[in-house]
Structure 1
Amino acid sequence: MSKDFKKSYKFAIKTSLFITLVLTLILGVFLFYHGLFEFYSLGIFLVSSYLVSFFIIQYRVENFIYKRVKKIYDNVTLLDATTLRPNQITTDMATLTREVEKFAEDKKLEIETLKIRETYRKEFMGNVSHELKTPLFTVQGYILTLLDGAMKDKTVRKKYLQRAGKGVERLIYIVKDLDMITKLEAGDLHLHLENFNIVEMVQNAFDLLEMKAAKKNITLTFDIPYEEAIWVYADRERIQQVLSNLVVNSIKYGKKGGTTEISIENLIKNKVIVRVTDNGEGIEKANIPRLFERFYRVDKSGSRKEGGSGLGLSIVKHIIEAHNEKIYVESVFGVGSEFSFTMEKSKSPSKITTSEKTGNGRKKA
């Protein structure tokens, strides 16, 4: 405390001392010259002069600094003038120093954030451009070839139109995924919540993707036989999309003759966790934090050969978060990956009372 006091009033103390000594010396010479010199009177004058000088100088200095600092706050609108008080001002200008340091730290953080966003924006624009131009150029190439004379050959015409049609389908697929991402991020997608059997949904996903898995001789299976239904409360269509995307990814990056396994486990009283595990190529640790970014690909060349919009995992994450649930990923490169997400459990429809049924409705994402 004493250290702060001496630091704050250093200027006033020294200046008052100089003024007091000078005035006392002048007064002493004057009294001595006129024969009125008294140590007692001179001592009283010295003390009084010092105290008066100190308080006047300190007040004037604080007032002077406050006005100048206030002007700086008013001119530099980014500084918060409401935090400035006259009683905070000292001759070492500590308040202004703290404010400027805080301002500099905030600006530094803001600049770093903007740099990260700018890098992300450039990557995103580059990825969108790449994803769209490939099917566009494909469609354009086939159409120009047909216009240049190939249209007269019926066999070639049909083949090229079919290939151009596939390019258009890919464009539509990408645009639909982009539209869904936009709606999910803006909160414009409505979730139609209902009770359904998650075991049955997983089996449907297996049946739907069985042929795709067979091309790489990948086995789609449960971890154990689920003889009883497990009821959850969510948007059936969106969760079906989540499961399909995760299983497709496990097939896409799985090794030939591998396995994709799904387990459904009780997490807490009202939650279950669904795990999608494969023994494929796995993901390097450095890539895991960016897995759910739009268009981010771990294996740039391989993933493009496999197709897809590059938005699947991003959509999965947004759908799960729209349900106020969590999604997790664990992976060891060269060993395999596990994606898991939580869901709210519900009762079997036969056990739901009439009042509980009327509680079912829609939820905005």
Structure 2
Amino acid sequence: MFKTKNLSPQQLSAFTALILSLPIAVGIWVLTWDWLVALVSLVVTFIGGYLLIRFVLESFIYRKIKLIYKFIYQTKATKREETYYKYILPQKGIDEVRKDVEQWAEQRSAEIELLKTNEAYRKEFLQNLAHEFKTPIFAIQGYVDTLLSGAMENPEVSKRFLENTSRNVDRMVNLVQDLDEISRLESGEQPLNKENFVIQDVIRETYEALSIKTNARNIRCSIKKGCESPITVFADKEKIRQVLNNLIENAAKYGKKDGSIVASVYKTDGRHVLIELSDDGIGISEEHLPRIFERFYRTDRGRSRDVGGTGLGLAICKHIIEAHGQAMHVRSKLDIGTTIGFTLDARKE
């Protein structure tokens, strides 16, 4: 069946000219009973109508459509686009043009939503950054003002205030270093020095390095039964050590006293190795799970600051693992515990 929905300008011109010329030719034939005159009038009327209608369409309609397309692309037309405007666009029907404009509108709408989300994230990030710096700066200012107001005369007070000032300075230094670490990871300025190494050895070394913190809370650190057999991965050893250090330190901070931290290591598809660290601590509520790898995001702001840290540890872990071309995941239940894992490439020959 003949469809007029997606006719090009040429087809629409020809169709309209034919509709106009047929009645005129029939009328002339009825008046003259000369089929030759009627045929000539049909051809002349069809050609004249076709040229006139096509001229009107291209001059007053498709010229406006070209402007719409140029507005959509928001750029001076390149040679490729000029070719498109000259040869391809005139072949499109109005309905096809409508679909193009609707598709463009949907894309712009999605981009606007993304920009709004990014803007909200940026504002939240700046607020958190200002708050993280404000706390130690105000504390330092308070200690210094107190010392200058006469507290220096008391050696015991001045020593305590200077020690507190030093701790807040250290906190600011750690914050700046963590921010610098993330910036370099994002920009690719920190190349990865990949090598083959046994992941269980690095886990045990990290357990040992953090033994003072874990022993203080009587937390047992172990490798899951059945996962002790050495498994070799291909990654940046020191960067992975940093990831494990952050994850185990978090588990020690938020895990319950007299609890446990268990590491699991599995070969997955022969090309990757899965590493998971589980604790039996307080857990994380479901609404917080999608955001725990964001910078400065804290599930409990007051409690998180009490136990220390810059709020950037998990964000750094995520960037390191993503720099390896891998991903992190988290599972957690309140009052049951949390498991955070990541994958690495298996041994490379």
| Interval of TM-score (by shorter of Structure 1 and Structure 2) | 0.7 to 0.9
How many Å separate the matches in 1 of 2:146 and 2:321? Answer: 45
The residue that corresponds to 1:52 in the other structure is: 47
Once the two structures are overlaid, the 10-residue window that deviates more, 105-114 or 37-46, is 37-46
The residue that corresponds to 1:319 in the other structure is: 320
Amino acid at match of 2:297: Y
C-alpha distance after superposition, 1:71-102 (max 9, x if no partner): 44456652774443456437963354233223
Identity of aligned residues (%): 35
> In structure 2, do the counterparts of structure 1 residues 286 and 227 end up closer, same or farther at CA, with 3 Å as the change threshold?
closer
**Of 35, 48, 70, the match for 2:66:** 70
Once the two structures are overlaid, the 10-residue window that deviates more, 168-177 or 243-252, is 243-252
* Aligned residues of 2:285 and 2:333 also touching (Cα < 8 A): yes
How many Å separate the matches in 1 of 2:183 and 2:239? Answer: 15
> In structure 2, do the counterparts of structure 1 residues 41 and 341 end up closer, same or farther at CA, with 3 Å as the change threshold?
closer
Amino acid at match of 2:98: T
How many Å separate the matches in 1 of 2:223 and 2:92? Answer: 74
| Partner SS state of residue 260, structure 1 | strand
Long gaps (5+) in structure 2:
none
How many Å separate the matches in 1 of 2:52 and 2:152? Answer: 97
* Aligned residues of 1:217 and 1:257 also touching (Cα < 8 A): yes
> In structure 2, do the counterparts of structure 1 residues 20 and 289 end up closer, same or farther at CA, with 3 Å as the change threshold?
same
Long gaps (5+) in structure 1:
348-355, 357-365
Amino acid at match of 1:340: G
How many Å separate the matches in 1 of 2:71 and 2:278? Answer: 60
The residue that corresponds to 1:140 in the other structure is: 141
For the pair 1:334 / 2:330, whether they are aligned, the reply is no
How many Å separate the matches in 2 of 1:133 and 1:277? Answer: 34
C-alpha distance after superposition, 1:329-349 (max 9, x if no partner): 2222332111112233448xx
For the pair 1:221 / 2:222, whether they are aligned, the reply is yes
The residue that corresponds to 1:252 in the other structure is: 253
For the pair 1:102 / 2:103, whether they are aligned, the reply is yes
How many Å separate the matches in 2 of 1:227 and 1:88? Answer: 65
The residue that corresponds to 1:131 in the other structure is: 132
* Aligned residues of 2:5 and 2:95 also touching (Cα < 8 A): no
> In structure 2, do the counterparts of structure 1 residues 51 and 228 end up closer, same or farther at CA, with 3 Å as the change threshold?
closer
Once the two structures are overlaid, the 10-residue window that deviates more, 110-119 or 44-53, is 44-53
Number of residue pairs matched by the alignment: 341
Within a 5 Å distance, the mapping from 1:277-288 to structure 2 comes to: 277-288=278-289
| Partner SS state of residue 268, structure 2 | strand
Q: Normalised by the size of structure 2, how large is the TM-score?
A: 0.85
The residue that corresponds to 1:38 in the other structure is: 33
How many Å separate the matches in 2 of 1:69 and 1:226? Answer: 66
How many Å separate the matches in 1 of 2:321 and 2:6? Answer: 60
C-alpha distance after superposition, 1:183-213 (max 9, x if no partner): 0000001223334333232222222222322
How many Å separate the matches in 1 of 2:93 and 2:325? Answer: 52
How many Å separate the matches in 1 of 2:142 and 2:330? Answer: 40
> In structure 2, do the counterparts of structure 1 residues 38 and 233 end up closer, same or farther at CA, with 3 Å as the change threshold?
closer
Amino acid at match of 1:140: Q
How many Å separate the matches in 2 of 1:210 and 1:345? Answer: 28
The residue that corresponds to 1:352 in the other structure is: none
CA positional deviation for 1:16: 5.8
| Partner SS state of residue 338, structure 1 | strand
How many Å separate the matches in 2 of 1:335 and 1:21? Answer: 85
How many Å separate the matches in 2 of 1:191 and 1:6? Answer: 55
For the pair 1:61 / 2:56, whether they are aligned, the reply is yes
Amino acid at match of 2:4: D
The residue that corresponds to 2:191 in the other structure is: 190
CA positional deviation for 1:122: 0.3
Larger Rg belongs to: 1
> In structure 2, do the counterparts of structure 1 residues 156 and 324 end up closer, same or farther at CA, with 3 Å as the change threshold?
same
C-alpha distance after superposition, 1:292-322 (max 9, x if no partner): 1111112222111111111101111111122
The residue that corresponds to 1:206 in the other structure is: 207
* Aligned residues of 1:234 and 1:323 also touching (Cα < 8 A): yes
CA positional deviation for 1:245: 0.5
How many Å separate the matches in 1 of 2:336 and 2:181? Answer: 32
CA positional deviation for 1:215: 3.5
| Partner SS state of residue 210, structure 2 | helix
How many Å separate the matches in 2 of 1:7 and 1:200? Answer: 70
The residue that corresponds to 1:363 in the other structure is: none
* Aligned residues of 2:222 and 2:262 also touching (Cα < 8 A): yes
How many Å separate the matches in 2 of 1:93 and 1:346? Answer: 58
> In structure 2, do the counterparts of structure 1 residues 89 and 234 end up closer, same or farther at CA, with 3 Å as the change threshold?
closer
Amino acid at match of 2:189: D
Amino acid at match of 2:100: E
Amino acid at match of 2:39: I
> In structure 2, do the counterparts of structure 1 residues 330 and 5 end up closer, same or farther at CA, with 3 Å as the change threshold?
closer
